[in-house]
Chain A
């Protein structure tokens, strides 16, 4: 069975400090992995995706994520948080089984303090 676990429901950082949002997945097949961001009452915006190419994936707004198969993790990082990064972040798995199965994590809300 496939699943996604976002290990923190809330993360709080100070502006200018690093951000780490953790995601572990479980998939019987080589998955594609995504991170999306959602600002309040808005749709979702793609930050980055992993599709079996380079394990370190760079996305928009300075975010990046590293696919670690041995740890079944796909953590999202940013070296320096900005106030505009405050939002909800979703880790998403799409198993490589054909079909359209899409599994969202429960989300991590990021707070950025001035």
Chain B
């Protein structure tokens, strides 16, 4: 069966510090991968998605970047965190089928607090 891991589970970082959040998927190959942010009391916003190693698409301009160094590894980064980067970050994966009916499976999330 497939599993998705995210770490760390919780992170408190000062403004201006760097960030690296990691997501890995097990039990599948060539998944589509996604990073979402959930601000307090709001729905999820798609930040990045990837259809393969080194292929990253950004949905919204922001202070963050993403990388996919391996097939089942997806990393969210920042060089200098802002207060507005605080939130709950969720990684997700889907089996590529070429259409919008792909089901996305979510990880447990990382709660980031920038002080």
Co-assembled chains A and B: yes
Interface residues of A (CB under 8 A from B): 4, 31-32, 34, 36, 41-46, 49, 51, 90, 94-98, 100-102, 104-107
CB proximity to A under 8 Å, residues B26-54: 32, 34, 42-46, 49
Q: Is the CB of B105 within 8 A of A104?
A: no
The smallest C-beta distance from B21 to any residue of chain A, in angstroms, reads: 14
Which of B's residues lie within 8 Å of A, judged by CB? 32, 34, 42-46, 49, 57, 59, 90, 92, 99-109, 111
Interface of A is mostly: loop
> In the docked arrangement, what's the CA distance between A51 and B90, Å?
24
Known: A41-B111, A94-B100, A102-B104. 14 other contacts (CB 8 A): A34-B103, A43-B107, A43-B109, A45-B106, A46-B103, A49-B103, A95-B100, A97-B100, A100-B57, A101-B46, A104-B43, A104-B45, A106-B42, A107-B42
Is the beta-carbon distance between B90 and A96 smaller than 8 angstroms?
no
Give Cα A95–Cα B108 distance, bound, in whole angstroms. Answer: 26
Cα–Cα, bound, A61→B104 (Å): 19
Give bound CA distance, A101 to B57, whole Å. Answer: 11
Q: Which residues of B contact A51 (CB under 8 A)?
A: 101
Whether the pair A31, B100 counts as a contact (CB closer than 8 A) is yes
Distance of B106 from chain A, by nearest CB (Å): 4
Residues of B within 8 A of A36 (CB): 106
